[in-house]
Structure formats: C-alpha cells, structure tokens
A = this chain, B = another copy of it.
C-alpha cells in the first residue's frame, strides 16, 4: 500500500498515482494508506467528512486503509498522558490539545469514510522491558475489544440517525514487542475477536532487521490464514519477499516515496543514488525492466540533472518509479504464487538485485521506515 499520510501520496497527484505507467491498467495501486493522526490534526475530520469523505477529498475511488493514530501519537506527539481510557496529547504541529481513544479513533476513521480501519493500539518504542511490553500489550488487547465494539456499534446505528458512511472493515493489531511468548499470547487474544484481518504491529519501531524478521517469522504463521495478514510499516523489497514467504498479505511503507525524495531509487539491479556523477551522461532508462512513465520516457542523465538542480519534477519522476517498482514487485509475487513458482521468483529477484550495476547500499535497520 502506498502511503498517503495527508490524503496524498507524497509528490504525486491522484491522477498520476492511477497512471504510473503509460499502460494504465498495470502498475496502478488498488489501495492506499492514510493516517488518522495526521488527518485529525490537518485538515480535521470535520472538514473531510463535510466534503464527503477521504475518497472524494483526494479524488480516489479505490480502497483506503487508515491506521488508527496509535503509532503516531506515541512517536510524534510532544506531550502525552496515557490512561486506561485513551491518550491525551498535544499536536506536534501547533501544540493544540487532543484526545484519542479506541472509540474516538474508530469514530474518526469511520467519518473519514475509509474501507479498512485499524484498531487503536499502544505502540511502545523498542527497548522496553518484558514487563513493560506485557503491560502495554494487555492495554492494547482491552483497546482492541473496545475498538471492535465501537465499530460494531457504528455498524448497528439505528436507521433513524443521520446517514453516515458505512462502517469500515476493522483489523486487529498484534503487539508483544520482541518477546515470543507475548506475541503468541497477543495472537491468541486478538485473533479470538471477530476482526476482518490481523496486523503485526510494533515492528519498524527501532529494532534491528534481524529482530523484525524474527518477530515476523514467529508471529505470521500463528495468524489465521483465511483473513488478511498485514505487516505494518515494512519494508525493503527483500523484506516484502521474506514477508510473503512467511505468509504476509499486506504491507505499507514510506520507503518508496521517502527514498524517492532523497534520490534513492529502487531498480531490478539494486538501489542507486541518482545524484551519483556517473549518471551524468547515462542515456539508459533508470530500470530497463520497468514500464513506468519515468523509465519509459527519460534517461538516468535527465533524472540526475533534475535531482542535482533541485527541480521539483525530480521528486515526481522518482516517486512515480519507486512506487511503480514496489507495485510491480507485488504483482510479480502474486503471479508467481498463482503459478506456484514463488520460491524461484524470490531467488531470481534477490540474485539480480545483488548482482546488478547499482550502488552498493544496504539497509541494516528496520527502524524509521514507518510513516510518522
């Protein structure tokens, strides 16, 4: 899922997002993510609701998933006060006072008109003790129950009330930090509730790549196979392949759009830094294996020229490609699964990435890849 924090996938118009390739039927995302925390602060849920919901607001008629605000309120808000009821916090933008609880988060997500809402969870930072992780997890479980009740209550609103957007699907979030026994308990409790899908939260919050993979590989197989399994805030192309291998169905990550703005571009031969002087006269497309507008219309030399000269269009071209690259990877994965050849697809993809002419760039941490 491309990340559209403020109801905009950064650097792209909605029309561009729908047409990343000249062949508009390919490389076109079916779902995006928006952020409850950000939208409740800017422009505010009242504004979006009055304008007909987030789909109409951004002119997007495909699916939208919203996160619950839990992650951002714990990572961004300057001052916060946690209680059983919810979180009082001050906006990181203007210091204004706000409150989020399971009921409030679900209400906002429903008023945004999203298709899939997330349960409101506490998302503690990496590095806390087992005891703190357990306490936080138990709060998340109680909040999950309240989130579900709030959604179900909304779904069951008497018809005499003013017409509202249909109640969204709701996903539960498994927490438990890096502790296997807590993760197992969290899966048992969360999956006992009637959510429409399940997410692994509390990853991409500062732990090492190895820890992220360990949590993912341990937790995913415990989740019900018959409902969507979503790994939040992950990750690199390699992470996506490993995630799918473990059983993950859905991902979101700011990496394609944020890296694009930093000139770090994904290609089938590995990542490249487009500002590198060796691209100054390079007539080749960014990625010969990509059918996006960037790769089918301009050269690496042109992309470097725009980027080093701070042209806004550089960010647009780069974002088109990086988002298309991720979508194409997921499309390839789906096709490989359908033809029962996921293993060889993964091997091929990984060997090509590491053998290519691209810059040697490694991602050592899983941290900071989730939209804040």
Contact = CB atoms under 8 A, between A and B. Distances in A.
A313 B11 contact: yes
Interface stretch (A149-157, A194-202, A291-299, A323-331): A291-299
A23 to B, nearest CB: 13
B309 A6 contact: yes
Nearest to A311: B8
Nearest to A283: B51
Interface stretch (A77-85, A300-308, A333-341): A300-308
Interface residues of A, number: 44
Nearest to A22: B15
A170 to B, nearest CB: 26
A59 interface: yes
A13 B299 contact: no
Nearest to A317: B13
B42 A313 contact: no
A8 B305 CA distance: 10
Contacts of A16: 16, 316
Contacts of A301: 43, 47, 51, 57
Contact of A43 (B8, B59, B305, B315): B305
A278 interface: no
A145 interface: no
A172 to B, nearest CB: 30
Contacts of A203: none
Given A15-B297, A283-B51, A293-B15, A309 B10 contact: no
A137 interface: no
A245 interface: no
Interface in A3-37: 6-16, 22
A320 interface: yes
B42 A305 contact: yes
With most chain B CB atoms within 10 A of its CB, the pick from A280, A298, A320 is A298
A58 interface: yes
A59 B316 contact: no
A94 to B, nearest CB: 12
Nearest to A38: B309
Contact of A293 (B13, B43, B320): B13
A10 B312 contact: yes
B51 A316 contact: no
Contacts of A364: none
A42 B311 CA distance: 12
A313 B13 contact: yes
Nearest to A298: B59
Given A10-B313, A58-B302, 17 more contacts: A6-B306, A7-B305, A8-B313, A10-B311, A11-B313, A12-B313, A13-B316, A15-B293, A16-B16, A43-B305, A47-B305, A50-B283, A51-B281, A51-B283, A51-B301, A57-B305, A59-B298
